[in-house]
């Protein structure tokens, strides 16, 4: 816990100080470019962590009658889990700010096709859910009318000249920066709640596939003719996570 907090010290300082521009720069390094929904992910993650920290400290101080400070207050935001509701630019902002990723088992994906997240404390289930308002995209294009035709040409139709792409990216990044300053309530539906604490226990048992010789989680292996096979060698369907969502596919 201490090493993790130390590695994220600079990010946590940005979160506490509300340095959304600094957080967006860090998220850009992860995501590859700046865009409005990446900025929204940064804002949602920062807000959720601060709200959960405030909630935790309030109840902790009530319990301790004002004597001393808790371990998580000194060393970071404590262990949280983020439940995102789609595969999109938004979740990279969430991953960067909250530190919850697929790799560390802190990120769960509900394939609902939404730009929404619930950030919860693992110990108590205290949570904050933020969902981008349904009219956000239409409102954004109304506020920045020059970008909509370029978005259609460059992003939707995958056409346009090099000049079109350059102009679109310039406007898209400018909008991302400006959206950092918009009141959160105008962009999100926000609610506080308590959720059942997700089971994030990681399965560690592994086997060796009898056909390809590669290691595979025991929970993912298939037994055929007395042999342990990975799903690919067994010709079984598996789930693929992509920008389209979660799909069941077969090689």
Q: Look at residue 104 and tell me if it is in a domain.
A: yes
Measured distance CA(33)–CA(31) in Å, rounded: 6
190 and 234 assigned to the same domain? no
Q: Look at residue 166 and tell me if it is in a domain.
A: no
176 and 238 assigned to the same domain? no
pTM for the model stands at 0.87
Measured distance CA(237)–CA(89) in Å, rounded: 27
What are the distances in angstroms from CA 79 to CA 82, 106, 200, 222, 241? 10, 9, 12, 34, 25
The pLDDT assigned to 243 comes to 87
232 and 186 assigned to the same domain? no
Closest CA to 48 of 117, 145, 134: 117
Domain CATH number, residue 111: 3.30.1330.130
Q: Look at residue 157 and tell me if it is in a domain.
A: no
Q: Look at residue 77 and tell me if it is in a domain.
A: yes
* Per-residue pLDDT reduced to its tens digit, 167-190: 999 999 999 999 999 999 999 999
| Range(s) of the domain holding residue 90 | 2-138+171-194
The total of structural domains in the chain comes to 2
* Per-residue pLDDT reduced to its tens digit, 230-241: 999 999 999 999
74 and 98 assigned to the same domain? yes
The pLDDT assigned to 62 comes to 55
Share of the chain above pLDDT 90, in %: 78
């Amino acid at each position: 816990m201490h090493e993790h907090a130390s590695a994220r010290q600079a990010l946590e300082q940005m979160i506490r100080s509300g340095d959304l521009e600094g957080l967006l720069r860090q998220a850009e390094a992860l995501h590859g470019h700046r865009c409005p929904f990446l900025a929204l992910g940064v804002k949602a993650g920062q807000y959720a962590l601060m709200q959960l920290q405030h909630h935790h400290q309030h109840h902790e101080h009530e319990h301790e009658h004002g004597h001393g400070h808790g371990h998580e207050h000194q060393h970071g935001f404590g262990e949280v889990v983020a439940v995102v509701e789609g595969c999109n630019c938004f979740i990279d902002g969430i991953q960067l700010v909250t530190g919850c990723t697929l790799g560390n088992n802190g990120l769960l994906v509900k394939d609902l096709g939404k730009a929404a997240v619930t950030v919860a404390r693992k110990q108590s289930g205290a949570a904050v859910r933020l969902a981008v308002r349904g009219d956000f995209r239409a409102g954004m294009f109304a506020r920045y009318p020059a970008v909509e035709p370029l978005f259609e040409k460059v992003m939707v139709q995958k056409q346009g000249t090099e000049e079109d792409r350059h102009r679109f990216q310039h406007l898209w990044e400018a909008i991302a920066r400006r959206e950092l300053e918009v009141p959160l309530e105008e962009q999100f539906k926000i609610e506080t709640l308590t959720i059942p604490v997700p089971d994030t226990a990681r399965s560690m048992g592994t086997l060796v596939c009898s056909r390809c010789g590669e290691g595979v989680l025991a929970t993912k292996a298939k037994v055929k003719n007395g042999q342990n096979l990975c799903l690919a060698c067994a010709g079984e369907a598996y789930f693929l996570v992509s920008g389209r969502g979660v799909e069941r596919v077969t090689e």
